[in-house]
Structure 1
């Protein structure tokens, strides 16, 4: 199958530092290549891939001080995609909705994965105006605010099995917070939970310009007031393995409709349990009492923090391998690709056999339904 993956340009694929969407695009691209498909990646020029790379910017736009507005760069990328669109069986977009008007001539082979939150009023208007393009969600919870649209399925994220090594016995005695310093991620709650549980907290997080005031006025004073809290800053993929693997638990005290939460399965890959507030996708990702604890309040999180040692790290890693590998993610996306009109009309196309477990994705999914089967075989 000839597949184009169209990534955001804010980060490279994979990102050097923080970046969830681009990391997933990279993992998917590499796994599709490994499975024998011909993949072309439209991404920033500093991306590293075994696919054919079409560089659409000199470097990750977030790291380029000369870039003030990312939109023109994405429009130029779309022009490159349009020039080559006839070469591909599938055009898989990961840039939300920028491509909709430009890609109408190729709508029979386009799939769009929505990676962000969908509860914003402007998006309701937009997707009401464009209900036909095939979409994939990254959790069933992500779909709840949407009008009726053409959902092909839900594909939960996955990681390569060896990207984060399993750590049977962590050598650190701390809780980990990994992500962004922003109100919706709950860094203030993480500090409170760790302090009340009497456990050190290490915070590895980036601070966006939009959240600088929140850091200055809320989180930085809290860090300064709690000697058990260490702020590390933004870390890279190599540092992440030790940071997560040596933690007693990952704290994920979000207070927003998280579409997925990649850090949860990164922790699980290391065998590290997760303590998470029950918002967004959390209950789809964490198996309560097995891979972590799903709680409804800070008080419950503190209680869970004192019981986290009862969870078996080997069982957490096993649950990751069962549900959240890149191999499973790619298999699910291939099943979604086969439902696109262009591929249904081309039975002569040489494609991998569809495992029996994927039969359910061929069945029409009611667009207005919130009770949607995840494509994951879990």
Structure 2
């Protein structure tokens, strides 16, 4: 019998094939897989999202992200979820936003909360609350170690990427690439420093979300340094992302927070491109030094790694991605959790 799964996105994060955030990419992959396997996929997300299943749309993204607008969006999310649960026989609710506690379904409904962000992004009370049939999972071993132990915490499910779709043929060029959300925690100013030291062209791609600190960071720290040697490409759709990842000399990841995972690092490796990163969070779990990239500690070491990236074997990178980062493995694990949550709930009803 097919499942009916309600996936719930973060209130200010559109879902679709070209979305920027890792959580939204995971949600989109689950949505596509549910439909492909004959299940019913429902998705609560902001208007403008693109899903394979049925979109239960909330308001479009505002021009600016403020606390008042976030609270308003959370209320709207909660109303949509309550309405769906009244009208449809949902088997499992799967929440992906760090603000999940603001719109959790009623206690007793099988609910999985995937923790895509570091522990300090979540309210301690929301994690500690004892709630029937609500479970958590992390996306990497390093992330899970930083969360408090809890009976509701299931084993982590590492993220994966569509490796076959990332196998493209583009000639290697000399530029380094930095790709992701444009915000202080991604440390893109370190990438600019490293590229300048290495005298290497740098391409920066990603989205500047309308949070005041993100816009200020781009306007004051990144934009003034753009020019012939450092260009900003904006947000990339999947085809352009694959092209630039494949053609890049290396991907730079100078993050200054504990990354819980990194889809873009996995995507780069699947494209045959080494990753040069700071040793934060899950990045040392993803990168094999000298094989798929380098772990460095400052801009000077990053500059040296840019120069050394030409020694990395592209086909070896792709082989590693096929072995370690298959998206289907991630999907299969989530589907196992869905079935286990449903079976547990049905057993409890029978008892």
**2:36 aligns with one of 34, 37, 46:** 34
Structure 1 counterpart of 2:113: 112
Q: State the alpha-carbon separation in 2 of the partners of residues 66 and 295 from structure 1.
A: 36
How many Å apart are 1:249 and its aligned residue? 0.6
Q: Deviations over 1:200-223 (max 9, x none)?
A: 111113334322333333333333
- Find the aligned partners of 2:156 and 2:91 in 1 and give their Cα distance: 21
Structure 2 residue 5 is the aligned partner of structure 1 residue 3: yes
Cα 1:233–1:49 shift into 2, 3 Å: closer
Change (3 A) 1:64 1:257: closer
Q: Normalised by the size of structure 2, how large is the TM-score?
A: 0.85
Give every structure 1 segment of 4 or more consecutive aligned residues whose post-TM-superposition deviation is greater than 6 Å.
64-68
Question: C-alpha displacement at 1:17, in angstroms?
Answer: 5.2
**Contact 2:258/2:281, CA 8 A, preserved across alignment:** yes
Residue 222 and residue 332 in structure 1: after superposition, are their counterparts in 2 closer, same or farther (change >3 A)? same
Structure 2 partner of 1:212: 215
Q: Is the 8 A contact 2:255 2:280 kept in 1?
A: yes
Gaps of 5+ in 2: none
Alignment RMSD (CA, Å): 2.8
Please list, as runs of the form range in 1=range in 2, the aligned pairs for 1:115-134 lying within 5 A after superposition: 115-120=116-121, 123-130=123-130, 133-134=134-135
What's the TM-score once normalised by structure 1's chain length?
Answer: 0.80
Deviation at 1:54, TM superposition (A): 2.2
Rate the CA distance shift 1:45–1:228 in 2: closer, same or farther, 3 A: closer
Contact kept, 8 Å, 1:27 with 1:159, in 2: the verdict is no
Aligned partner of 1:71 in structure 2 is: 71
Matches of 2:177 and 2:338, distance apart in 1: 37
Q: Which runs of structure 2 are paired with 1:44-193 in the superposition (5 Å)?
A: 44-57=46-59, 59=60, 61-62=61-62, 69-85=69-85, 87-99=89-101, 102-107=104-109, 109-120=110-121, 123-130=123-130, 133-149=134-150, 150-167=152-169, 170-193=171-194
**Does the 8 Å contact 1:171/1:246 carry over to 2?**
yes
Q: Gapped runs of 5+ residues in structure 1? A: 348-378
Equivalent position SS for 2:123: helix
Quote the residue 2:274 is aligned against: 273
Decide which moves more: 111-120 or 298-307.
298-307
Give the whole-Å Cα distance in 1 for the aligned partners of 2:314 and 2:164: 16
Identify the residue that residue 225 of structure 2 maps to in structure 1. Answer: 222
Q: What is the total number of aligned residue pairs between the two structures?
A: 339
Aligned pairs for 1:239-258 (under 5 A) are: 239-258=240-259
Check conservation: 2:18, 2:238, Cα contact below 8 A.
yes
2-structure distance, mates of 1:252, 1:49:
29
Q: Are the equivalent residues in 2 in contact too, given 1:28–1:329 (CA < 8 A)?
A: no
